[in-house]
């Protein structure tokens, strides 16, 4: 049993393999958070202390007791309005203009299996894998009923949270802020890890002390964003990759979000995560229900590496879905960096011919195949093949490619519209724009109002026509701008604060229909590369294009940051041309291959221009990738170096679950005359097992590889890379 309730003490205890989470209902019906961390075998209520604290008010119920303050006690779901002046999870307003609510406990329910959220992505788990706890709270005055959802997956060592709000009153309630989860810590110094970036340089890891005041990340872009990823970690200051305590919070949502960590006047720390509150305002009419998306919490007492592996496993097996969840995904070639918009059907076929020769399994036709689309100024919204360019119906090109023995994949950007398109000329009001103002253009395109079901339906019909008429086995779903000018022509003016949330429901509805109606389709998420790389998208697309930056060295940092919260199998990663198109760097084909293999592997360069020598290297790479595939996708991932600190090299490792096989990857970042020797220490192996390294034939004990390490070969050249494949003997 993962969820326990103890009646006399009204104590809730959630247990996973390595953690315990406790909360209790107090004498007044408030739900207090008690503890989340290493298992203690104890009721942790004794940690709470009560003192008369100036300027921290007291609820009316406690009468003359000035030691009881919501401002000081740890809350399970803090609201604005009950005397807690810290950052709340919930802010409501009533018709009379008053703000605030006062939530009191009503009861609970425990169910077998993991709860689902209507219209929203969520981790899933069967009855023997998960338990659900629902705690019911109500606010008497407004009639608001709040259900706190907890999904406990003991073996995966995670607890998920989500919130349902129902208006059981007579009047509308306006939701101004709804966070999905919060953790109150009574004590401790902490550091905070977040992942910032920009287009083509996403998810750079940043670790800073938690200070007094509030530290916030988030997105107001309508997508989770390149700039801040909806994932963060709270750690003890001495926590490392392999030791120490840390907590992860991962948002299963792809739109605007907010995540906050704040240290209060009593040195207590509150972390919270949920929807972006700025310009959010949801009118909950009597009888209506609202769902706040899920946050996945994980705790590790064994450092950041273990925490990451908890997320990797969970997301691989209990978030990603579809045929390609666990089977090998085809090695692909994408024509974008090979041709950009400048291609014909024959050119694509030529690339296909070379692809087949090399052992590539799928060809992906990127942007430019539809409507009037030879530049990024026009065509979006007109999802009909440009037969002149492609050389006939799409089916004929797909058949030709299939005839080569390759699968066929296609790029789309369904949420967008160009002003120069038939769709925009017919339905200008389908694009977001503020009445009386000119819209913000970005990449010369506007955003379709996916909060409107008729818009979603129309685009869905067009996309499904394409899928129905040709053998398309993969689709790259792109989204190439941030959403500004949020104004839906069908929503009454005062409700514009709902539009971005409803937009996400529209998007998820579209993606769910694709998932149900095209179960064999492999979907790759994309948003100018990694601008919507989040757990929400992984529910629909088991892989996401990691970044528009394909340079191997920049990718090391991007993939390093990504690995903290997301499995390697989820990162689309390609070998591209050199000098690299984004930064001009020159790296060897070998190194580009090693880096791209830390992901869902493919190529993105003009195969027709390869030399014979390059072709041989690629053939070998693909063979290697097939050999390593299971290890890479389903194995345990270890970061061997901190790329924000170690300058000489970057290294990472895959270890099979049975610890019989491992692949150590490393890329040299510096080169010097008379160089010092670098060493790299492996991780995650069985110390007593003996492993043979494939190329040298040498055997080592796991202990030697982990505690003594391997000397890195010395050779001349920039950005050299090595893979050591070791198998138990």
Catalytic residue annotation: 534, 614
Within 406-498, where are the H helices? 422-426, 453-469
* Min separation Cβ 407 and ligand GLA, Å: 18
**Residue 13 or 570 with smaller CB distance to ligand GLA:** 570
* Min separation Cβ 511 and ligand GLA, Å: 18
**Residue 361 or 366 with smaller CB distance to ligand GLA:** 366
Question: Do residues 448 and 412 lie in contact, with contact meaning Cβ atoms separated by under 8 Å?
Answer: no
* Min separation Cβ 531 and ligand GLA, Å: 8
**Residue 530 or 684 with smaller CB distance to ligand GLA:** 530
Which residue number has the CB closest to ligand GLA? Answer: 367
**Residue 336 or 638 with smaller CB distance to ligand GLA:** 336
d(CA 40, CA 59): 31
* Min separation Cβ 527 and ligand GLA, Å: 7
- Over the Cα atoms of the chain, what is R_g? 27
* Min separation Cβ 470 and ligand GLA, Å: 19
d(CA 160, CA 253): 13
d(CA 73, CA 268): 9
* Min separation Cβ 323 and ligand GLA, Å: 23
Cross-strand bridge partners of residue 727: 661, 692
d(CA 522, CA 544): 11
Q: Which residues of 123-146 are buried (b: 16+ CB within 10 A; e: fewer)?
A: bbbeeebbbbbebbbbbeebbbbb
Distances (CA, A) of 531 to 228, 284, 479, 515: 9, 30, 8, 22
**Residue 291 or 411 with smaller CB distance to ligand GLA:** 411
Q: Which residues bind ligand GLA (CB under 6 A)?
A: 336, 366-367, 411, 478, 480, 526, 528-529, 545, 548
**Residue 152 or 552 with smaller CB distance to ligand GLA:** 552
* Min separation Cβ 39 and ligand GLA, Å: 44
* Min separation Cβ 478 and ligand GLA, Å: 5
Distances (CA, A) of 295 to 108, 250, 311, 536, 718: 20, 5, 12, 10, 42
d(CA 295, CA 162): 6
From the number of C-beta atoms within 10 Å of its C-beta (0-12, 13-18, 19+), residue 233 rates as buried
Reduced 3-state DSSP string for 478-542: CCCCCCCCCCCCCCCHHHHHHHHHHHHHHHHHHHHHHHHHCCCCEEEECECCECCCCHHHHCCCC
d(CA 703, CA 152): 35
**Residue 537 or 655 with smaller CB distance to ligand GLA:** 537
Question: How many CA atoms does the CB half-sphere of 236 hold within 13 Å?
Answer: 16
d(CA 179, CA 278): 12
CB atoms within 10 A of CB 118: 9
**Residue 150 or 603 with smaller CB distance to ligand GLA:** 603
* Min separation Cβ 340 and ligand GLA, Å: 8
**Residue 473 or 478 with smaller CB distance to ligand GLA:** 478
SS3 for 618?
Answer: helix
List % helix, strand, coil for the chain (3-state, nearest 5): 25, 35, 45
């Amino acid at each position: 049993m993962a969820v326990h309730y103890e009646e006399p003490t009204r104590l809730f205890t959630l247990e996973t393999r390595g953690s315990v989470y406790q909360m209790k209902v107090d004498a007044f019906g408030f739900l207090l958070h008690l503890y989340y961390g290493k298992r203690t075998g104890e009721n942790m209520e004794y940690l709470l202390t009560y003192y008369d604290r100036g300027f921290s008010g007291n609820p009316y119920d406690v009468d003359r007791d000035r030691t009881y303050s919501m401002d000081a006690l740890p809350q399970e779901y803090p609201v604005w309005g009950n005397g807690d002046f810290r950052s709340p999870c919930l802010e409501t307003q009533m018709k009379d203009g008053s703000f605030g609510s006062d939530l009191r406990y009503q009861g609970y329910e425990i169910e077998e299996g993991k709860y689902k959220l209507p219209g929203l992505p969520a981790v899933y788990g069967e009855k023997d894998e998960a338990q659900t706890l629902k705690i019911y709270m109500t606010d008497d005055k407004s009639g608001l009923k709040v259900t706190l959802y907890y999904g406990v997956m003991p073996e995966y060592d995670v607890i998920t949270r989500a919130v349902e709000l129902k208006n059981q009153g007579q009047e509308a309630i306006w939701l101004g802020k709804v966070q999905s989860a919060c953790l109150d810590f009574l004590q401790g110094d902490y550091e905070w890890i977040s992942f910032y970036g920009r287009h083509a340089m996403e998810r750079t890891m940043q670790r800073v002390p938690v200070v007094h005041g509030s530290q916030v990340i988030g997105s107001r872009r309508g997508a989770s964003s390149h700039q801040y990823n909806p994932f963060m970690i709270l750690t003890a200051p001495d926590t490392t990759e392999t030791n120490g305590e840390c907590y992860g919070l991962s948002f299963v949502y792809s739109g605007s979000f907010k995540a906050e960590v704040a240290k209060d006047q009593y040195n207590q720390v509150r972390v919270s995560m949920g929807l972006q509150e700025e310009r959010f305002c949801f009118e909950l009419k009597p009888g209506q229900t609202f769902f706040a998306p899920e946050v996945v919490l994980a705790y590790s007492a064994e450092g950041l590496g273990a925490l990451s592996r908890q997320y990797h496993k969970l997301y691989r097996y209990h978030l990603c879905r579809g045929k390609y969840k666990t089977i090998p995904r085809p090695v692909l070639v994408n024509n974008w960096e090979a041709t950009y918009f400048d291609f014909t059907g024959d050119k694509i076929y030529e690339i296909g011919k070379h692809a087949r020769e090399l052992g590539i399994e799928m060809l992906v036709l990127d942007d430019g195949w539809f409507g009037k689309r030879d530049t990024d100024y026009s065509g979006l919204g007109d999802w009909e093949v440009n037969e002149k360019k492609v050389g006939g119906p799409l089916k004929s090109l797909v058949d030709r490619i299939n005839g080569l023995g390759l699968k066929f994949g296609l790029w789309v950007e369904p949420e967008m519209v160009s002003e120069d398109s038939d769709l925009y000329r017919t339905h200008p009001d389908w694009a977001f724009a503020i009445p009386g103002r000119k819209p913000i253009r970005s990449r010369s395109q506007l955003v379709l109002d996916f909060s409107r079901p008729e818009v979603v339906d129309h685009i869905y019909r067009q996309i499904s026509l394409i899928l129905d008429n040709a053998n398309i086995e993969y689709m790259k779903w792109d989204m190439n701008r941030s959403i500004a000018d949020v104004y839906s022509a069908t929503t009454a003016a005062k409700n514009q604060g709902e539009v971005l949330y409803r937009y996400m429901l529209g998007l998820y509805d579209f993606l769910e229909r694709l998932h149900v109606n095209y179960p064999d389709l492999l979907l790759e998420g994309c948003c100018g590369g990694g601008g919507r790389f989040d757990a929400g998208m992984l529910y629909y697309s088991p892989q996401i294009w990691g970044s528009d930056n394909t340079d191997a060295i920049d990718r090391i940092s991007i993939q390093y940051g990504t690995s903290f919260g997301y499995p390697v199998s989820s990162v689309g990663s390609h070998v591209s041309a050199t000098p690299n198109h984004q930064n001009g760097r020159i790296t060897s084909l070998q190194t580009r291959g090693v880096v791209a293999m830390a992901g869902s592997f493919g190529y993105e360069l003009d195969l027709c221009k390869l030399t014979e020598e390059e072709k041989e290297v690629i053939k070998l790479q693909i063979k290697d990738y097939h050999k390593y595939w299971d290890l890479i996708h389903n194995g345990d991932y270890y970061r061997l170096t901190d790329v924000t600190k170690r300058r000489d090299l970057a290294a990472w490792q895959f270890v099979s679950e049975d610890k019989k096989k491992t692949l150590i990857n490393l890329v040299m970042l510096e080169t010097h005359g008379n160089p010092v020797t670098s060493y790299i220490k492996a991780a995650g192996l069985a110390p007593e097992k003996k492993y043979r390294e494939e190329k040298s034939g040498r055997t080592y004990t796991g202990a030697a590889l982990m505690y003594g390490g391997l000397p890195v070969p010395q050779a001349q050249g920039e950005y050299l890379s090595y893979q050591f494949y070791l198998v138990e003997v």
